Amino acid sequence: MKSMTGFGRGVAENQRYTVEVEIKSVNHRFLDIQLRSPKQVNAYEQEIRKIIKERLPRGRVDVFVTVKEVSDAGKEVAIHWDLVDQLVESLQKEGQARYGVVDLEPKVILEQIVSLPDFVEITEAKDDDESLGELLIAAVTTAAEQNAANRAQEGQALAAVMVENREQIATALARLQSFVALYQGEFKERFEKKLQDYLQETVDQERLLTELAIQLERGDIQEEIDRLAIHLQNFDRLLAKDEPVGRELDFLIQECNREINTIGSKSSAIEIKELVVLMKTTVEKIREQVQNVE
């Protein structure tokens, strides 16, 4: 069993880049991957999602990607010469007339415009993409695997708590089962006495048995007890699985709660009511834990 709560971090670097990836996950009905990354990572988004989906099949997964450039190697300087030519020509022809400028040598002009983004642009070298992609995939894989390991550890803790709660339900169910036979016998005696006191005469046995059968049928909880016991067996089976079981567990807990509610509605004995309250409280604890199971 795995939880949907986890965290993982991966770092990969070379002489050009340092790539850091953090993956945080919480519970969610489905797999919801939210990627926050710089523009240069966009080309690898599908591959990133594939890596995460293979390792984290369910949950809200937030992925944070940071790319740091540790050197200027691989950058290219692009000078827009056509614009430079136009600027130099325009200044040489009209600068003197307009502003009385004497020294308009191209060297002077170039020194002034070298920092202007419209004329000089620094771009990434084309052959850097493959290197960045390899670092990115390595960092994402490490972060996703750390997150999955973290979720597995958290899942084992959840399973241990749920097993403990399951045992409480099983104990209450065993007490309920042993009480039912005694309760039915006492119910028969009380029902017969009340009917005789009410009629103040000898009761027709056939009528008594008919009425008693009707009342016992209305209050019979054996079928619900049997189904609840089967649900507990299925609960054990799901806990032993190596695959995601969160949705199955959620449905199973709903069925357990339904059986317990029916037992409570059919029974008036205070002993049964107390056991029903105990089981409902424990099932609710399990339900809260199941919400975070992958």
pLDDT tens-digit readout, 149-201: 999 999 999 999 999 999 999 999 999 888 776 666 555 666 566 656 655 55
Give the start-end residues of each E strand in 70-144: 75-79, 120-124
* pLDDT, position 215: 56
Range name among 144-148, 207-211, 237-241 with the lowest pLDDT average? 207-211
Q: How deeply is 46 buried, as exposed, middle or buried, from its count of CB atoms within 10 A (0-12, 13-18, 19+)?
A: exposed
- Identify the CA nearest to 264 among candidates 274, 255, 254: 274
Q: In this predicted model, which residue has the larger pLDDT, 51 or 205?
A: 51
Using the predicted structure, report yes or no on whether residue 96 has a pLDDT greater than 80. Answer: no
Classify 174 as helix, strand or coil: helix
* pLDDT, position 119: 66
pLDDT level of residue 292 (50, 70, 90 thresholds): very high
DSSP state of 67: E
Classify 117 as helix, strand or coil: coil
CB 225 within 8 A of CB 173: yes
Other CB atoms within a 10 A radius of the CB of residue 195 amount to 15
Please list, residue by residue across 118-142, b when 16 or more beta carbons sit within 10 angstroms of its beta carbon and e when fewer do. ebbeeeeeeebeeebbebbbbbbbb
- Identify the CA nearest to 76 among candidates 37, 128, 15, 13: 128
Report which residue type is found at 169: I
Q: What is the mean pLDDT of residues 132-138?
A: 93
Classify 271 as helix, strand or coil: helix
CA–CA separation, 105 and 91 (whole Å): 9
* pLDDT, position 269: 76
Structure tokens at 291: 């919400």
CB 75 within 8 A of CB 29: no
* pLDDT, position 125: 56
β-strands 31-36, 59-69 pairing: parallel
Q: How deeply is 179 buried, as exposed, middle or buried, from its count of CB atoms within 10 A (0-12, 13-18, 19+)?
A: middle
CA–CA separation, 125 and 142 (whole Å): 27
* pLDDT, position 116: 67
* pLDDT, position 114: 65
Range name among 83-92, 252-261, 278-287 with the lowest pLDDT average? 83-92
